[in-house]
Structure 1
Amino acid sequence: MTSPIIKTNNLSLSIGKSRLLKDVSFSVGKGERVAIVGANGAGKTTLLKCLLGLLKPERGEMEIDGRGMPGYSRLELARKLAYVPQLLEASVPFTVLDFVMMGRYAHEGGMGQGDQEGLRIAMDALQQIGMESFARRTLSTLSGGERQKACIAAALAQQAPVLVLDEPSAHLDPRQREEIHHILCEIGRRQGVTVLAVTHDLNWAAMDYDRMLGMSDGRVVFDGTPAAFMTPENLRLVFGVDFSLHPHPVTGDPIVIPAARKESV
């Protein structure tokens, strides 16, 4: 692994009587693409919220780019980590360009309505994802996939070395999912951006990511390559159910499909 840009050590967090994270330790190298997978309630989104400074662990340590989290202000952290949520609400009352310009807030302050350099960076981000022609459209007129692209463009305009995503292709149709997956793959490979994504799309994670973190019951129970993860034993360890594994018809790599149910007699 290259030098870590994200490092956690024994993170633990409880809310009320629920223990959401239990001694979570892992590192992400600069330029790595790491997928976090696990069943609902496994602690994936809670872990992201800790990294983004939205939740404070009761125990453990976090470092971003070699610096402990307590040493970061909100703006400083925003210059390191850019966040893309699951899906942007359709009612957000901004044009696409205005929304992407908001991604400049960490550099320009206020709502990110900066100078010509900021405008150039925002338009470049839209061009990277093929949405420059949408700049004057309002977000409420876009499809779910187009709004998700706008969120990614705003994150790119933030110019942070780490892109953090929470189920970036959830709620999208197959074509939109493929477009988002392709964009994220290109960002990681061509620009050297570190990508840390929570996803339920195991086949996408196995094909496009360098490592997979499997979480269960607030713990990291698997940390390794996609090839090592894609076994019946590891899938059951993380999800608690059986999957069938089959070779991809083009690459030969294992892909998962749900195990067939036996007919009840």
Structure 2
Amino acid sequence: MRPESRTSSGLNHQRSTVNRLSAENVTLAYDQRVIAEQLSVEIPDNSFTVIVGPNACGKSTLLRALSRMLKPSEGRVLLDGQVIQSMPAKKVARTLGLLPQSSVAPDGITVADLVGRGRYPHQGILRQWSAEDERVVQESMRQTGVAELGDRYVDELSGGQRQRVWIAMALAQQTPLLLLDEPTTFLDIQHQIDVLDLCAELHEEQGRTLVAVLHDLNHAARYATHLIALREGRVIAEGAPKDIVTAELVEEVFGLRCQVVDDPETGTPLVVPAARKARAERAGGKVAATEAS
């Protein structure tokens, strides 16, 4: 069942089930600088949720809190009904994988060795590297299209290849939830689509719950099953892209005048910004109307 949509002017419906990952009334801050206050979100199970919004609105900060990387100064993040900060790190790592921004690999490490580090949460004093670990690593590299790069050094790879290797490492954790912070940053358009296609496959074919921060609203509308739009640390709207992506929402969240049409390839919402001249004329009309009043 698709989650009900929520907008800043609409009704917030209660969901009938408890989702595995949520934030309840969290206040998030860096060095006492508050980024978000009294923020609540639920990540629908088995969804591909994408968080969008303008720069510095709290997207990555929220993702860091959901992944246990940032402790809320108020409120709580729940994973499977438990406060995530109170859970053992390895237990969290067996449930939730994180691909942070601008990951940097150790010098001189090969692709296979880096992907193998994704198996760390499954290791222990009585459980060392096994044939099952090797199988999972090889399968993760195959799924991400880097199997033939196993012996290559990570620092020799292109940006798109490196991003796929990091995703392979996250897959090797075998977590049902996977969080990705701007996974398409610094990639050319072809590699952006490759990475997002891979994310869609993980969601559709393996049933994983994905949460990603993306800058490109059209990419978000095309790939997400659930969209969360933030502005200044507040949820302005959330729901299925076709239910919430409107010209009014884009202007409210991003301050951009546009038209929203159907994507000719997918039928999903496609944001077409107004031409510069049209934006200037509309802005001039607004000023004139204000002065006249």
Overall identity of the aligned pairs, in %? 36
Match of 2:145 in 1: 130
Shift of residue 3, structure 1, vs aligned partner: 4.0
Secondary structure at 1:189's aligned position in 2?
helix
- Is residue 183 of structure 1 aligned with residue 198 of structure 2? yes
Secondary structure at 2:71's aligned position in 1?
coil
Structure 2 distance, partners of 1:41, 1:193, is 28
Secondary structure at 1:262's aligned position in 2?
helix
Structure 1 distance, partners of 2:29, 2:155, is 37
Match of 2:112 in 1: 97
Secondary structure at 1:21's aligned position in 2?
strand
**One-letter identity of the residue aligned with 2:181:** D
Max radius of gyration: which structure? 2
- 1:218-257 equivalences under 5 Å are 218-257=233-272
Shift of residue 251, structure 1, vs aligned partner: 3.5
Match of 1:46 in 2: 61
Match of 1:174 in 2: 189
Q: TM-score, normalised by structure 2?
A: 0.84
Match of 1:64 in 2: 79
Aligned in 2, Cα 1:179/1:203: closer, same or farther, shift over 3 Å?
Answer: same
Match of 2:214 in 1: 199
Gaps of 5+ in 2: 4-16, 282-293
Aligned in 2, Cα 1:176/1:92: closer, same or farther, shift over 3 Å?
Answer: farther
Match of 2:30 in 1: 15
Match of 1:29 in 2: 44
Structure 2 distance, partners of 1:95, 1:257, is 43
Q: Which residue, out of 137, 143, 156, partners 2:171?
A: 156
Q: TM-score, normalised by structure 1?
A: 0.93
- The 8 Å contact of residues 101 and 113 in structure 1, kept in 2 or not, is answered as no
User: For 1:185-209, what per-residue CA distance to the aligned partner results, in whole angstroms no more than 9, with x for missing partners?
Assistant: 0000010110000001212221221
Secondary structure at 1:4's aligned position in 2?
coil
- The 8 Å contact of residues 95 and 137 in structure 1, kept in 2 or not, is answered as yes
Structure 1 distance, partners of 2:27, 2:109, is 38
Structure 1 moving runs of 4+ over 4 Å: none
Root mean square deviation of aligned Cα: 2.1
Number of aligned pairs? 264
Match of 1:118 in 2: 133
Aligned in 2, Cα 1:12/1:169: closer, same or farther, shift over 3 Å?
Answer: same
